[in-house]
Amino acid sequence: MLNPTMSPRTKRKLLIIGGAEDHSDDCVILRRFVELAGDGDARILVVAAAAQRQADAGDRYRRLFRDLGAGRVSVVAIPCRGAAEDPSAAREAGAATGVFFTGGDQLRLTTLLGGTRLFAALQAAHQSGMVVAGTSAGAAAMSDTMIVEGDSDDAPKKCTVKMAPGMGFLAKVVVDQHFAQRGRIGRLLSAIAQNPSVLGLGLDEDTAVEIEPDQPLWVVGSRTATVVDGQTIAHTNTSQSKPEEALAITGVTLHVLPSGYGYHLDKREVALPDGRMP
């Protein structure tokens, strides 16, 4: 059953942000999150577990969301896994209409939360309609498999990227953040070459994708989202190459999508701003 403050249009939505989103001008992306969470009726829970200085990151987003009109904003501190087993934290998650995962280190986030009472409560709340948002590390950890490390300055190689289990809010997609700004196309190509059935999603800074089940994702923000589709790969030497050898990848499909453009994850088709297929 949906939380009474949620409308059907917000059911099980994700807002995945490439990092460095605008905090001082129009705040388009953060404002959209507050809107999805219920505006004045929003009850937002900030999870800063990925951050090295959790209190600072939590307080910063608490102020931002309050300034943007959220009804209630709370921050949960997770200094250790034991804190994520606290029943009061799980109750906060169950009452929230939106959760926001800050940036930092995605592996710190998953190792602190994975398998805990708080994480189970967040999963259940999302299934009941709570919108889930994450920026930077919080974005990378959204998928069931996440990139935790990778060289941004080299050609695609087997050793370019290291993967680990993510939070699993998004299936069959690998997310990379700060994408154009840190030149991460090579490591996303490496990830997709090793598992072509999975889509690669590279998000520039101050750019997000809004995702709802059975609908195309839509791009929001000032830059672009890059979709890498490995299903069309005609040839790759991934299985034969040595770890330090450059990969061959032919036939991969790449889409660069600015704000207003969409993409059907299931159909693997672009949606133009007017809803048409190209």
Annotation marks residue 136 as catalytic: yes
Q: Give, in order, the Cα–Cα distances in Å from 174 to each of 11, 61, 100, 250.
A: 22, 25, 19, 20
How confident is the model at residue 154, as a pLDDT? Answer: 81
Task: Give me the mean pLDDT over the 252-272 stretch.
Answer: 97
What are 233's strand-pairing partners? none
DSSP string across 31-74? HHHHHHHTGGG-EEEEE-TTSSSHHHHHHHHHHHHHHTT-SEEE
The pTM of the full predicted model, rounded to 2 decimals, is 0.95
Average confidence score pLDDT of the chain: 94
How far apart (Å, rounded) are the C-alpha atoms in residues 235 and 226?
21
pLDDT > 70: what percent of the chain?
95
Q: What are the tens digits of pLDDT across the range 6-32?
A: 444 446 999 999 999 999 999 999 999
The CA distances from residue 51 to 55, 99, 204, 235, 262, in Å, are 9, 15, 20, 40, 30
Active site residue 205: yes
103-144 pLDDT per residue, tens: 999 999 999 999 999 999 999 999 999 999 999 999 999 999
Choosing from 92, 126, 143, 205, the catalytic residue is 205
- Nearest-CA neighbor of 209 among 271, 251, 163? 271
Lowest-confidence segment of 9-23, 57-71, 136-150, 178-192 by average pLDDT: 9-23
Please pick, among 21, 92, 178, 210, the residue that the annotation labels catalytic: 178
Determine the Cα–Cα distance for residues 218 and 28; give it in Å rounded to an integer.
14
| Predicted pLDDT at 244 | 85
Question: What is the model's pLDDT at position 8?
Answer: 41
Q: Give the position of tokens 């001008």.
A: 25
178 flagged as catalytic = yes
The residues, ordered by sequence, that sit 6+ positions from 26 with a Cβ below 8 Å of its Cβ are: none
Q: Which CATH number fits domain 8-265: 3.20.10.10, 3.40.50.10860, 3.40.50.720, 3.40.50.880?
A: 3.40.50.880
For residues 76 and 45, the answer to whether their CB atoms sit within 8 Å is: yes
Catalytic residue among 21, 92, 126, 136: 136
